[in-house]
Amino acid sequence: MPRPLATAAREGAFYAGVAFLVVIAAFPFYWMLITAFKTNSDLYDLSNIPFWFNDPPTLAHIRYLFEETLFARWLLNSLIVGVCVVAITLVTALPAGYSLARMTGRNGEALGIGIFLTYLVPPTLLFLPLSRVITVLGLQDSMWSLVLVYPTFTIPFCTWLLIGFFKAVPREIEEAAIVDGCSIFGAFVKMVLPLSLPAILTVVIFTFTLTLQEFVYALTFISSTAQKTITLGVTTDLVRGDIYFWGELMAGALIAAIPVAIAYNLFLDRFIAGITGGAVK
């Protein structure tokens, strides 16, 4: 084959490979999107080509979600749970990360790995005893049980993320503050925290998305519709009897998925650095 042809063939194969991956990854979301805006008569007509709109798009499914179901309530519940878990996580993980990065030496490193490993303890191992604990605390069938339990995986993950970050903050900054008469605690609050805003923002975003993604604990602890979070509500409450209302289901899933998808993409690199333990050293 002459040179330009060979190059063109190689380029073609390359872009075909990329296109293949994109289709595999994104098709279910395209499917969600198009289903959410299709009329029922279009959806359930096998003679239609399903890949685009055969009838004009409709907002009926989305309107149904907000008018006939507790969808708005689920959004609000998710927001409340997310905000509370973020607050708990910040209050515990920030000092812990700082302490393990700076103040506890070799033991701190081992302890840090230990905390991170608890992130690997799966919900399916703990949901039985935790549901008993929650009953004892009187939190059964309430979204506050999730506020209590979700920090068990957000604290380990965020502490680990923050250890890496705090190690990268130059020691001289705190030392200067201490020379100027600050206590170590004062240096942490007045100098280190303001410098760590990017890391804190990352922790906030990831904690929030982790709470939105969680399904197992929510499924185990909550059964009444009004207490459900968005992920649980959409997946378990929009199925009436044995009948699936795909338009409403996909519309709900789409609305819940969009913010998480955006947040993840913006903070992906930091997340990877955290998860591989390659956090800035």
Give CA separation, 112 vs 94, 135, 160, 165, 277, in Å: 13, 31, 7, 13, 11
Own/partner contacts of 40-45, CB < 8 Å, gap of 24 or more, are: 40/247, 43/246, 43/247
Residue 77 corresponds to which amino acid?
Answer: N
CA dihedral 212, 214, 218, 219 (to 10 degrees): 120
Q: Under rule CB under 8 A, which residues in 240-279 are in contact with other proteins?
A: 244, 246, 249-250, 253, 256-257, 260-261, 263-265, 268, 272-273, 275-278
Min CB(183)–other proteins separation in Å = 4
Q: Under rule CB under 8 A, which residues in 8-47 are in contact with other proteins?
A: 14-15, 17-18, 21-22, 24-26, 28-29, 31-32, 35, 43-44, 46
* Binding test (CB under 8 A) with other proteins, winner from 4, 129, 170, 241: 129
Min CB(108)–other proteins separation in Å = 7
Let me know: does 221 contact 141? Beta carbons within 8 Å. yes
* Binding test (CB under 8 A) with other proteins, winner from 6, 9, 72, 103: 103
Q: Which CB, 76 or 259, lies closer to other proteins?
A: 259
Closest CA to 269 of 212, 211, 202: 202
Q: Under rule CB under 8 A, which residues in 152-211 are in contact with other proteins?
A: 152, 155-156, 159, 177, 180-186, 190, 209
